[in-house]
A and B are shown apart, each in its own frame.
Chain A
Amino acid sequence: MKEFKYVVQDELGLHARPAGLLVKEAAKFKSAITLDSGAKKADAKRIMAVMSMGVKQGVEVTVSIDGEDEDAAFEAIEAFFKANL
């Protein structure tokens, strides 16, 4: 299993648009991808769950990736966070 932490910079937080893009990105991988904001957890492949975490700017999210393609998924998801959030 691989893991990284990221503090959300986007002023709107993890709102509908990036949540949608994240789910699309996560769906490309077989690995289980989980977001944890401390208060709530969500499967990164489920948009309602991701949005209803209500992650705001400044919140640290721990992303865990577990599965056969976790190396590639780690790289792609981390890059996604940096570029979009």
Chain B
Amino acid sequence: METRQGKSVFAGVAIGKLFIYKKAAQVVEKRAIEDPQEEIARYMAAKEKAAGQLALLKEKTLRDVGEAEAEIFEAHQMLLEDLDFVEGITGMIEQDKVNAEYAVFVTGEQCAAIFLSMDDDYMRGRAADINDISSRLIAILSGTQVSAEAMPEPVIILAEDLAPSETVQFEKDKILALVTQKGSANSHTAILARMMNIPCLVTADIDLDVSLNGKMGVVDGFTGQIHIEPDEVTLAVMQEKKKREEERKLLLQSMKGLPTETKSGKRVHLYANIGSEEDVDSVLENDSEGIGLFRSEFLYLGRDDYPTEEEQFTVYKNVISKMNGKKVIIRTLDIGADKQADYFNIPREENPAMGFRAIRICLERTDVFKTQLRAIFRASAYGTASIMFPMIISVDEVKKIKGIVEEVKAELTREDIPFGDVELGIMIETPAAVMIADLLAAEVDFFSIGTNDLTQYTLAIDRQNQSLDNIYDPHHEAVLRMIQRTIECAHEHGAWCGICGELGADMELTRRFLQMGIDELSVSPVFTLELRKKIRDAE
């Protein structure tokens, strides 16, 4: 047995025969030609054919893998048409009177060299994209097609590196794992492997010896190791590891579509936290029952002026429509503290975590607040929307908010713009809000506990201050009692209560939260299925 080490970019265990993948060596001949125009026409025809192949690959990837990966081939299409690349090739054919294959090869090398010389890993990785396009063009021009050899059975593929077009050409069900000598965690191969859910090692110190073809191998995506011709003990250990991993995956998959309820039949709403429109795909894929926290800050950050009502409306509408009737709780602007945008012109503060932020800004700058509320209400006509307000400390704030909400609704009604029935809730993330939770509960439909801020304010520990990490205890009894009191007050006044902070996904506390009577947990989509299982296993 031989064991080699690589860097794992996707966990899992694969056991099977090895397959050494080598590109058919492309020997590019330099030939003198008579008629440059004819040669350019030949190149143009090849370019068109390559564009067609790339369009097909893009479709296949979109179908088999995903949108983000399909964009790789769209980028290839653009590189293929790039004027510097095209003019470099046609110029060389005309001036040097050389064959198209050679002109493509030399120009491709030159373009790739520019990327290889850059001081940025990501950009250096793009040289592979250009090589991929050159190879494709040369293969078409010389009549040798690039294609993966037929593989009779599912195999572990060992290669120097894999171009994205090669990776997707393999039949998906014929690949057990990918192991490459080159590549990086950001390479296309790694991204594709993650999307295809197969173990993948990069920068592995493997030999690409064809004599390995057909020998047994084991890829351990947890440790980054590949065992070649494993001994019996290793094989048995790895088989067991693989079985356990598969059982765990199956178990989680089996949680899809099941109700989130305890053995005694207590239902909990299991929602997801998202920070942008793109996150909705993951929400649906992990079978979350709704969105419990849609952070709207991304609409305001990284720009130099306020987002318009129209811009916001489009994003909210898209998310609400995609959720198809499931609840979407949008949290209004929570800017300030560690999230700053220059155009808000917030004066420098000694202590921004306790400063001018979130609802405090909204109630002062009501025009900004109203723009956001109008956008949300308009979008609410397309599904089920709720709104929650951050950083509340008093009943007075809630009354002011409700007043502004009524104004917005009256305006929309006057303008004949439809809107849905929108629940209003508040974040409970200050000790003040916990202490008056009974009074607040009478004013709103729901509470959502923001445990990150609540912990920081309760313990008087700045969560950005790493030197205090040893005493920052999110399981502190004070925090848990705050949560308990909040839930009790909500229920006494007919409001429901959830948790959207990080603590919601802390499975050591799930049982305790259930005992407290929590109605909703909103967590990152990737935790959904595991948390559902945890809840279904509870009494």
**Stretch among B70-78, B356-364, B431-439, B512-520 lining the A interface:** B70-78
CB-based contact A15/B111 at 8 Å: no
Of the candidates A12, A51, A82, the one whose C-beta lies within 8 Å of that of B126 is A51
Chain B: which residue is nearest A49 at the CB level?
B84
What is the 8 Å Cβ interface bit string for chain A, positions 12-36, against chain B (1 contact, 0 not)? Answer: 1101110010011000000000000
**Dominant SS among interface residues on chain B:** helix
Contact A52 to B118, CB < 8 A, known contacts A16-B75, A16-B126, A20-B75: yes
Residues B108-142 near A (CB distance < 8 A): 111, 114-115, 118-120, 122-123, 126, 129-130
CB-based contact B85/A52 at 8 Å: no
Does B82 make an interface contact (CB < 8 A)?
A: yes
Of the candidates A20, A45, A46, A51, the one whose C-beta lies within 8 Å of that of B115 is A51
CB-based contact A82/B119 at 8 Å: no
Of the candidates A17, A46, A52, the one whose C-beta lies within 8 Å of that of B123 is A52
Contact A23 to B120, CB < 8 A, known contacts A16-B126, A45-B83, A52-B114: no
CB-based contact A20/B78 at 8 Å: yes
Does B228 make an interface contact (CB < 8 A)?
A: no
Q: Which residues of A contact B129 (CB under 8 A)?
A: 16
Of the candidates B75, B115, B122, B303, the one whose C-beta lies within 8 Å of that of A52 is B115
Q: Which residues of B contact A48 (CB under 8 A)?
A: 79, 82, 84-85, 111, 114, 130
Chain B: which residue is nearest A6 at the CB level?
B304
CB-based contact B78/A23 at 8 Å: yes
Q: Which residues of B contact A56 (CB under 8 A)?
A: 120
- Name the residue in B71, B115, B122, B129 with the highest tally of chain A Cβ atoms < 10 Å from its Cβ: B122
CB-based contact B71/A9 at 8 Å: no
Q: Which residues of B contact A49 (CB under 8 A)?
A: 84
Does B302 make an interface contact (CB < 8 A)?
A: yes
CB-based contact B84/A20 at 8 Å: no
CA distance in complex: A24, B78 (Å): 9
Does A67 make an interface contact (CB < 8 A)?
A: no
CA distance in complex: A54, B79 (Å): 16
Q: Can you give 6 contacting A-B residue pairs, CB < 8 Å?
A: A16-B129, A17-B71, A20-B75, A45-B83, A46-B84, A48-B111
